[in-house]
Amino acid sequence: MARWLSFFAEYNFTVEYKPGRLNVVADALSLRPDFETVVKPNSETVTVAVMTSSVPSTTLYGDVRRAYAQDGEIVKLLTHLSQPSRESLKRLSSAYRSASDRYTTRDGLLYYTAVSGDTPRVVIPDDTDLRLRIMFEYHDAPIGGHRGREKTYLTVSRDFYWPRQYQFVRKYVRACEICQRVKSSPSLRAPLQPLPVLAECWESISMDFVFGLPKDARGNTGILVFVDRFSKMVHLVAVPETITASGCACVFIDTIFRLHGLPRELVSDRDPRFTADFWRSVFKSLGTRLKMSTSDHPESDGQTERANRVLEEILRG
């Protein structure tokens, strides 16, 4: 499904619902009795296949090259970079003139480098439609995941540059219909005493479940989330809803212990799997201290709850 969504995201179209009683053409083509048996029973079976190839008419970088010609300031800058002179430098606006040494050209594209050693980024001209297309691919497309303002800005600014880029991204994300409809706004609460964080990675881990997801090929409908409370690194493991305490222990050993060793403490909620005697005895023998949140207070395990929320928002978007 994600592959097809990414494919159709390249095209601008509208899906319209048509009731079955009005869609007579489809019924006539699918219910014709003379087409019911295409191959005769005694004839040799013939396999017919149709291969189609659909390529967008234009690429993003091709549109960027063509849009340069519509931006007078960029045309002057490209002229100066191809044939630098004092006269061409004077024709530039003050913003481009003061930073002309930060721009370079390659393969017909204009690149901007903020500081020495930074990765050059493609300059986008003053074309609102082109900028909206980039925002759609980096925010609305399935691979974008409808992430928030800061993460969307980081991914967009990694590849592209234009003036007041942060304000443009902030306005776009704020106006996103799916983000407004799906994402929950955090409510303000009284100040809480945070749990102390240890000084090294994977010494303190928080974990939680996310259930109610569509079945995968192995029948898993949940995800077991592990979060390192120091580095914020996340591990996600698909699990069935019927997983037991011993199954959780096996997942922990195969995923966390195998890669990062044994933690000193483990933070979780009071899920029956985490309060089981087997789970407690295993980690008691290993020397790992179990910390469990107070009942009806999920904010005690806030890092994992936040990771769960981001995961659910990406899957819903």
Residues 153 and 234 in one domain: no
Structure tokens at 82: 């191809």
CB 144, CB 152: distance < 8 Å: yes
Predicted TM-score of the model (pTM)? 0.48
Per-residue pLDDT reduced to its tens digit, 16-56:
877 877 777 776 666 666 655 544 555 555 555 544 333 33
Residues 152 and 68 in one domain: yes
What is the C-alpha to C-alpha distance for residues 301 and 194, in angstroms, rounded to an integer? Answer: 10
User: Dihedral of CA 304/305/309/312: which sign?
Assistant: positive
**Cα distances (Å, whole numbers) of residue 206 to 84, 184, 195:** 58, 22, 11
DSSP 238: E
Residues 226 and 163 in one domain: no
128 or 13, which is more confident? 128
Q: Among residues 222, 250, 247, which one has the least CA distance to residue 237?
A: 222
192 or 217, which is more confident? 217
Inside any domain, residue 187: no
What is the C-alpha to C-alpha distance for residues 260 and 252, in angstroms, rounded to an integer? Answer: 11
Inside any domain, residue 167: yes
What is the C-alpha to C-alpha distance for residues 169 and 154, in angstroms, rounded to an integer? Answer: 10
CB 274, CB 246: distance < 8 Å: no
Considering 181, 196, 228, which residue would you say is the last residue of a domain? 181
Inside any domain, residue 66: yes
- β-strands 109-112, 103-106 pairing: antiparallel
Inside any domain, residue 195: no
Per-residue pLDDT reduced to its tens digit, 83-125:
888 888 888 988 888 888 899 999 889 999 988 888 899 999 9
Lowest-confidence pick of 33-37, 78-82, 216-220: 33-37
- For 89, the domain range is 60-181
Q: In the predicted model, what is the mean pLDDT of the chain?
A: 81
Inside any domain, residue 15: no
Residue 296 sits in a domain whose CATH number is 3.30.420.10
Residues 272 and 232 in one domain: yes
Residues 156 and 239 in one domain: no
57 or 6, which is more confident? 6
Question: How many domains are there within the chain?
Answer: 2
What is the C-alpha to C-alpha distance for residues 274 and 128, in angstroms, rounded to an integer? Answer: 52
Place of tokens 């074309």: 127
Q: Is the pLDDT of residue 306 over 60?
A: yes
Inside any domain, residue 256: yes
Inside any domain, residue 274: yes
